[in-house]
């Protein structure tokens, strides 16, 4: 299960945790400071929009605290009960962060609607405008910094926090513009701006929750990663094809995979063992993915009749749009046996697809026993 390691990944787990902790602490400091300044401005100016912006910054600080605790828990060593580690805790912490953002947005919406129904005149000063303007710049810089760090260490929590900070900068800018409009024209838009702010916060919370839920449920692996793994496997001269690549994710940068390789039917077990160990090490060193299991399909190399049968069956299978891939074929003319795997799209029931293909293959080879294994379209 554990491949030979010749070099380390670019970012070690300890280094990743340190980056997340330091970045989150910076975010907490900036957001607490901005929340305090905006709350002061909001109370003195009687501005609901500024107060809601302050609450939003406070929720961001709380989100960073949760991110830190989540990463610390997720980095705990594997144990007997959790042999693959605790990495998925980070997804749960991201879900909690999205719930807090969503709650803040709904609360902001309620308060803004109240101010629309029962308006209260705001009173902005030049100092308050300067503070709001400085907050816009601070959130822009913070957002870019946090998002960049999140991408560097593959942290969905940091990336989401960075994107949220950039949204906050736009919302703070809208508050600033509404204040300027009020000073110039006397038209108060802050309660309506509060509704817009709340809508953006709610939207961000829902999107964050959907993305985190996808991580928890499991989604299709990244096409670039699966293509790279298959390329590594197919580079070996002994490998006719790599199929059924399945990735299990147990937290950021913790991927375990299994795959089927189509190999020469004359290879010995020792040769297959040597090959698979070499590939496990190569895949891990180049992608960080642990190749836990390698299954084998035997490839006919000495039987011309079997090769002709393969070509005929392949044409039958791939004549259907829902048959995405044909592999693992092996024919034994002496025993009248044909077996192969078919990757089917989600548009057809696998049992129905097998029935159709079995009937069509038997029309060509009525004396044969046909064994078809349906595969799920799990990776590119």
DSSP secondary structure string for all residues of 71-131: HHHHTSPP-SS-TT-STTHHHHHHHHHHHHHHHHHHHHHHHHHHHHHS-------HHHHHH
**pLDDT per residue over 33-46, tens digit each?**
988 988 888 888 87
Q: Quick check: pTM over 0.75?
A: no
User: Residue 5's pLDDT is what?
Assistant: 39
User: Residue 12's pLDDT is what?
Assistant: 66
**pLDDT per residue over 114-138, tens digit each?**
878 887 677 777 888 888 888 889 8
DSSP secondary structure string for all residues of 117-173: HS-------HHHHHHHHHHHHHHHHHHHHHHHHHHHTT-HHHHHHHHHHHHHHHHHH
CA distance 85 to 287: 19
CA distance 370 to 17: 53
Question: According to the CATH classification, is domain 223-376 in 3.30.70.1350?
Answer: yes
**pLDDT per residue over 287-343, tens digit each?**
989 999 899 988 877 677 888 898 899 999 999 999 999 988 988 888 899 999 999
What is the fold, at CATH topology level, of the domain defined by 13-217? Alpha-lytic protease prodomain-like (1.20.1510)
Q: Are 146 and 175 in contact (CB under 8 A)?
A: no
Fold equal for 13-217 and 223-376 = no
pLDDT of 351 strictly over 90? yes
Report helix, strand or coil for 177. Answer: helix
**pLDDT per residue over 186-241, tens digit each?**
787 877 877 887 888 788 788 888 888 887 787 788 888 999 999 999 999 999 99
Partner residues linked to 330 by β-bridges: 339
Sign of CA dihedral 11, 15, 20, 22: negative
In the chain, the percentage of residues whose pLDDT exceeds 90 is 28
Beta strands in 237-345 (DSSP E): 239-249, 255-264, 290-299, 323-332, 337-344
User: Residue 8's pLDDT is what?
Assistant: 38
User: Residue 13's pLDDT is what?
Assistant: 66
pLDDT of 365 strictly over 90? yes
Kindly list the domain boundaries of the chain, sorted by start residue.
Answer: 13-217, 223-376
CA distance 74 to 361: 51
CA distance 71 to 90: 6
**pLDDT per residue over 152-193, tens digit each?**
887 766 777 787 787 778 778 877 888 888 888 878 787 787
User: Residue 228's pLDDT is what?
Assistant: 94
Confidence class of residue 10 from pLDDT cuts 50, 70 and 90?
very low
pLDDT of 368 strictly over 90? yes
Higher pLDDT, 55 or 13: 55
């Amino acid at each position: 299960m554990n491949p030979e390691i010749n070099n380390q990944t670019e970012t070690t787990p300890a280094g990743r945790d340190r980056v997340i902790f330091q970045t989150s602490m910076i975010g907490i400091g900036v957001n607490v400071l901005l929340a305090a300044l905006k709350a002061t401005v909001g109370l003195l100016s009687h501005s609901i929009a500024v107060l809601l912006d302050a609450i939003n910054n406070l929720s961001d600080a709380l989100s960073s605290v949760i991110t830190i605790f989540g990463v610390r828990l997720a980095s705990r060593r594997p144990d007997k009960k959790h042999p693959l580690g605790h990495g998925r805790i980070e997804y749960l912490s991201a879900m909690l962060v999205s719930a807090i953002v969503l709650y803040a947005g709904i609360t902001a919406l309620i308060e803004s609607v109240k101010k629309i129904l029962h308006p209260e005149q705001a009173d902005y000063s030049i100092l308050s405008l300067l503070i709001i303007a400085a907050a816009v710049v601070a959130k822009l810089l913070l957002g870019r910094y946090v998002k960049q760090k999140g991408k560097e260490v593959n942290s969905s929590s940091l990336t989401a926090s960075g994107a949220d900070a950039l949204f906050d900068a736009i919302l703070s800018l809208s508050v600033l513009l509404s204040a300027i409009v009020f000073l110039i024209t006397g038209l108060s838009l802050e309660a309506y701006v509060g509704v817009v702010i709340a809508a953006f916060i709610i939207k961000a919370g829902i999107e964050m929750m959907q993305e985190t839920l996808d991580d928890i449920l499991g989604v299709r692996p990244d096409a670039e990663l699966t293509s790279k793994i298959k390329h590594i496997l197919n580079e070996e001269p002994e490998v006719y094809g790599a199929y059924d690549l399945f990735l299990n994710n147990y937290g950021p940068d913790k991927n375990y995979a299994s795959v089927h390789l189509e190999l020469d039917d004359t290879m010995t077990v020792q040769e297959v063992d040597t090959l698979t160990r070499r590939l496990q090490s190569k895949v891990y060193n180049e992608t960080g993915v642990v190749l836990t299991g390698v299954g084998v399909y035997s490839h006919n190399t000495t039987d011309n009749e079997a090769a002709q049968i393969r070509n005929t069956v392949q044409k039958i299978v791939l004549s259907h749009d829902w048959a995405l891939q044909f592999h693992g074929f092996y024919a034994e003319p002496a025993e009248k046996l044909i077996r192969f795997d078919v990757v089917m799209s989600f548009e057809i029931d696998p049992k129905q697809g097998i029935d159709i293909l079995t009937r069509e293959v038997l029309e060509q080879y009525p004396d044969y026993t046909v064994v078809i294994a349906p595969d799920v379209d799990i990776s590119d």
